[in-house]
A = this chain, B = another copy of it.
C-alpha cells in the first residue's frame, strides 16, 4: 500500500501549527514534490491572490522516496504562486535539507498567512515551533544560519532560508539551504519575505531505510563502477555543469551579450568548467548520499569564500557570457553574492545583461543608473549591481523587478530586449540550437525552464547509446542528424520528456542522476527504486501519467489566473538570424514553431484556442474534482 503523506500545516497569521494527513490512495496520484505542492494549492487557494499577500500559500515538499540511501535523492520543491510570473511557482533544490525534512517525518510543510513579525520554523521530529527572527532579519544567509545553529545549540541543523533579497521582495529572490543550494527560480524567496518567514530549520534525523534491502542493493552496489564507466556523469562530477560552456560557444550557441549572439570568442574559454577546475576550484561538493559530486566549491583568497560554494553553468553564462564578462572571479563573486543575499543567479545575471543592452543602445544612461557604466564586459559593475538589487538600492530597485517589468518602465524598445517568457528570464540553452527545449520554454507553466524536458541534442547520439536506449523507454527512438528539426516526433519527444522530468520534480529526484540521458539511472531503474525503496509496485505508465497530471494541474492553476496561449511565446530575437560565429544565420523558424506549438497543445490534450487543458484531459488524469470545485 502507498504511504500516507504527513503535512505540517503552519498558519503564520495565528501562529498555529497543525498536521494534515493525505491518505496513500490520494497521495499516489500526487506523490510528492511539485505535484503535491500544486495539489495543496489547488485544494485551498482561490484564484487572483496577490502572490505577496498573506493569502498566498507556500509549500516545501519532498516525496515518499526522499532519504533512501542512493544518489540523486535529496531534493526539495517549493510551490507557491510566483510573484515573478503570476503563474504557479515551482522550484527545486538539493542539499541535505530535503532528506532531513523527510527524516523528521514530514512529506511537506505548508505555510499560509503572514507572521506579524519575522519568524522562523524549527522542526525536531513531531515538534515544530515558530521562533522569533527579528534578530536575523537583514542578515545574509551564512550569518543567519550560524545564528540559528547557535541559538538552537545544534551545529548540524539544516536551514533553508531567505536572504535580504527575499526580505526586500525582490521578484526573483530565492530560498537558500547550506548557504549555497538554491530553490532558485520564480521568486519563491519573495513570498517567504512577504510572510515574514525567514527560515525553516530542521534537526538532523535518521532517514528512511529501503523496503527491500537486498533488492535495493542491486541499484547501489555497483555505483562506483557505473560512475567510472560513464563519461557523461564522470565529466559532470569533475568539471561540474559548467563543463559544457566552451562547447556551446564553439558550436555558436552560448547566449552572449543578452542573446545578441551565440558566440563569445573573447571569454568562453576563460569562464568554462575546465578553467574553473584548473584555477579557482578547491573542492567538489555533494548532496546527501550522492556519488556524483557535481557541486563546485571555489575560492579566491580575499574575494570569494568557499563557504558559498561555486557557480553552475547557468551562473557562468548569465553573469559571464550574457553580460560579456570574461572574468571567472567576477562570476564567482556574483554567485557568492547571490547566495548570500538570496537571489536567483539566472534571473539576476540575465536582468543585468538586459540592462546592459538597454544602456549600450541608449535606452538608459548614467542618470538612470546612478553613474554606473553598464557596458557589456564591465566586470566592476556586476557585483555592485547584485548588491543594489538585493537591497533595492538606487537603480537596483528597478532591476529587482526583473527584466520584463523593468522593460515596461524603461519603455521604448526595451521590451524587445527582455529575453524572458511569462516574465521569467531564459536559461542558457538556446532554442535556436534546441528547438524542443525552446518549445518547452514557451509552454512550461512556470516560465522558461531548462530542467523541465530533455534536450534535443541527445537525439543525435548513436541509436545504441545508453542515452538513446533510455529515451526510447519514454517513447522516442527516432534519431536526428542535427538538432534543428521540429517535426511531430520532436514535439512528442518534448512533451513526453517533459512528463518524465515532471515525474522527477514530483518524486524529488535529481535529473543529473535520474534523468534519461545521464547514464546513471534510467527509467527502468526508477521503477526498481520505487519497488525496492518503498514497496511501490509502479510502472512507467503510471509514472508518466503522474508527470502529465502535475503539468496539467499547473496549467489549470494558470488558466484560473487568466493565462492563455498568448503567454506561450519565445522572444522575437529567437526568430532573427544570429549575426556571427559558427551559428551565423541560424534562427528558430517562426512558422514551424507556431505549428509545433499547436501540435504540442493537441498532443497534450489542451484546447488549441486557449492553450489550456480541456475538461476531458483533466478528467482522464483523475482531475475531475477541479471541475466540480
Known: A1-B463, A475-B545. Contact between A540 and B539, CB under 8 A?
A: yes
CB distance from A82 to the nearest CB of B (A): 30
Establish whether residues A622 and B489, one from each chain, have CB atoms under 8 Å apart when the complex forms. Answer: yes
A582 interfacial contact with B, CB 8 Å: no
Where chain A touches its partner, the secondary structure class is helix
| Cα of A542 to Cα of B614 in the assembled complex, Å | 24
A43 on interface, CB distance cutoff 8 Å: no
The answer to whether A473 touches B538 (Cβ under 8 A) is yes
Flag A539-574 by CB within 8 Å of B: 1 or 0 each.
111111100000000000000000000000000000
Kindly state the separation between the CA atoms of A25 and B489 in the bound complex, as whole angstroms: 14
Indicate how many identical chains form the complex.
2
Residue A429 lies at the interface, judged by CB distance under 8 Å to chain B:
no
Question: Is A624 among interface residues, defined by CB-CB distance under 8 A?
Answer: yes
* A54 at interface by CB-CB < 8 Å: no
- Complex interface: chain B residues within 8 A of A527 (CB): 524, 527, 539
Q: Does A49 contact B (CB under 8 A)?
A: no
A619 to B464, CA, bound (A): 26
Instruction: Check B28 against A477 for contact (C-beta < 8 Å).
Output: yes
Contact pick for A541, options B1, B474, B603, CB 8 Å: B474
Q: Which residues of B contact A622 (CB under 8 A)?
A: 488-489, 492
Measured between beta carbons, the chain B residues less than 8 angstroms from A152 are none
Q: How does the 8 Å CB contact mask read for A520-546 relative to B, with 1 for contact and 0 for none?
A: 000110010000000001111111110
Say yes or no: is A206 at the interface (Cβ < 8 Å to chain B). no
Convert A566-607 into 0s and 1s, putting 1 for each residue whose CB lies closer than 8 angstroms to a CB of B.
000000000000000000000000000000000100110100
Q: Mark A436-472, 1 if CB is under 8 A from B, else 0.
A: 0000000000000000000000000001100001101
Q: Tell me the complex Cα distance, A544–B474, Å.
A: 11
- How many angstroms from the CA of A544 to the CA of B475 in the assembled complex? 10
Q: How far is the CB of A291 from chain B (nearest CB, A)?
A: 23
Interface residues of A in 497-540 (CB under 8 A from B): 523-524, 527, 537-540
Q: Contacts of A537 on B, CB cut-off 8 Å?
A: 469-470, 472-473, 524
Contacts of A474 in B (CB 8 A): 539, 541-542
Q: Which residues of B contact A1 (CB under 8 A)?
A: 463-464
Once the chains are docked, how many angstroms separate the CA of A169 from the CA of B602? 44
The answer to the question of A620 belonging to the interface, with a C-beta cut-off of 8 Å to chain B, is yes
| Residue in chain B with minimal CB distance to A531 | B524
On whether A473 and B619 interact (CB within 8 A), knowing A463-B1, A464-B1, the answer reads no
A542 to B605, CA, bound (A): 19
Q: A343 to chain B: closest CB distance in Å?
A: 38
Given contacts A1-B463, A524-B527, contact A541 B599 (CB under 8 A): no
Contacts of A209 in B (CB 8 A): none
In whole angstroms, what is the CA distance A1 to B475 when docked? Answer: 15
Query: Would you give the shortest CB distance from A91 to chain B, in whole angstroms?
Result: 27
Tell me if A616 is interfacial: C-beta within 8 Å of chain B: yes
A546 to B463, CA, bound (A): 20
* Alpha-carbon gap, A473 to B620, bound state (A): 16
Task: Please name all residues of chain B whose beta carbon is closer than 8 Å to the beta carbon of A538 when the two chains form the complex.
Answer: 472-473
Chain B residues lying within 8 Å of A616, measured Cβ to Cβ, are 599, 602-603
B477, B542, B620: the one contacting A492 at CB < 8 Å is B620
A489 to B621, CA, bound (A): 9
Question: Please, which residues of chain B bring their CB within 8 A of the CB of A605?
Answer: 605
Residues of B within 8 A of A620 (CB): 488, 492, 602-603
Which one of B472, B473, B489, B619 contacts A599 once the chains associate, using CB atoms below 8 Å? B619
A469–B541 Cα gap in the complex (Å)?
14
Specify which chain B residues have a CB less than 8 angstroms from the CB of A614 in the assembled complex: 602
List chain B residues, Cβ under 8 A from A545. Answer: 475
Asked whether, in the complex, the Cβ of B472 is within 8 Å of the Cβ of A542, the reply is yes
CB-CB < 8 A to A475: which residues of B? 541-542, 545
Q: Using a CB–CB distance below 8 Å, which chain A residues touch chain B? A: 1, 25, 28, 463-464, 469-470, 472-475, 477-478, 488-489, 492, 523-524, 527, 537-545, 599, 602-603, 605, 614, 616, 619-620, 622, 624
Given A473-B537, A473-B538, A488-B624, output 5 extra A-B contacts at Cβ < 8 Å: A28-B477, A475-B545, A489-B622, A539-B541, A541-B544
Give the 8 A-B residue pairs with the shortest CB-CB distance, closest first.
Answer: A602-B616, A539-B540, A473-B539, A540-B541, A603-B620, A541-B544, A541-B541, A540-B540
A-B contact pairs, 8 of them (CB 8 A): A1-B463, A474-B542, A475-B542, A488-B620, A488-B622, A492-B620, A492-B622, A541-B543
